[in-house]
Amino acid sequence: MRVLVLGGTCFLGRRVVERLHARGDSVLVAHRGRSEPAPWIPVRHLHTDRTDLAEHIGTIAEFAPDAVVDSCPLTAADVDAVPEDYDKLDVEQRWLRRDATLLRLPLIYGPCDRQRREEVILRRLRAHRQHIPLGVGNLLWTRGYVDDLATGVLAAVDNRTADGLAVNLGETQTVTIRSWVSQVLQAAGGGAEMVTVPDATLPPDLAITAAPAQHLLVSVARAQKLLGWSPGDPAPRVQESVRWHLDHPPAGTTWTGADAAADDAALAAAER
């Protein structure tokens, strides 16, 4: 299969490109060239802004893609910039009118995550903090491991039964944020204690553990039925993700006195 990928150099898009290449598909990655991993797999690249795609219609037509994977349609204008010659709500409406399969994604975690979601806990373990201030931590937010989601993207490319439909991807089991923190601590081998503190005292990077206004849960039954897709067990996925992030700590970040003071102030509030 010949697949044009828009974006495709970061996190999930990158994993999709790697998987397509690994299974023998021909891939053309159209991106700006600002975040291309080096070294990377030998696929074709078209360096351009997506708003200038129409200027490269000859290159795209010569490649003759069987499918298009858009990894970063942030606005309606982003979708409108994609030529139709090769066959957020306004974004969804535009792609659905083209009979695309629209994949709604959850909170994504795993290796190469530029947002480094586990780092909020791991940075405290690296600083040898013995107590971690948390809010009630009862937020439920559907998550998804990057490789499981890449499998879902490939299933949508191969199985066109969901064309013209919006489909949710994500894990079928969702634990609270507090339970997720516990999983991260266990996977990292850290002995820090979780301490419940008033929401108003939480350090900014732990605000996600405060009491939520609403939960963010979705059903993935449509993806399971139409695409024949199912995610893996979340427990080993969290372990795999934490191991990668422990082995690849972010450069240039340190635990500061201000960080310690914010945590200590929150912990002191819990003692009153």
pLDDT score for 135 = 97
Q: What is the pLDDT along the chain (272 residues), one digit of tens a residue?
A: 999 999 888 999 999 999 999 999 999 999 988 887 777 888 999 999 888 888 999 999 999 999 999 887 544 455 455 555 544 445 566 766 778 899 999 999 999 999 999 999 999 999 999 999 999 999 999 999 999 999 999 999 999 899 999 999 999 999 999 999 999 999 999 889 999 999 999 999 999 999 999 999 999 999 999 999 999 999 999 999 999 999 999 988 789 999 999 999 999 999 76
d(CA 26, CA 32): 20
Nearest CA to 186 among 120, 236, 255, 249?
236
The Cα diameter of the chain in Å comes to: 69
pLDDT score for 23 = 95
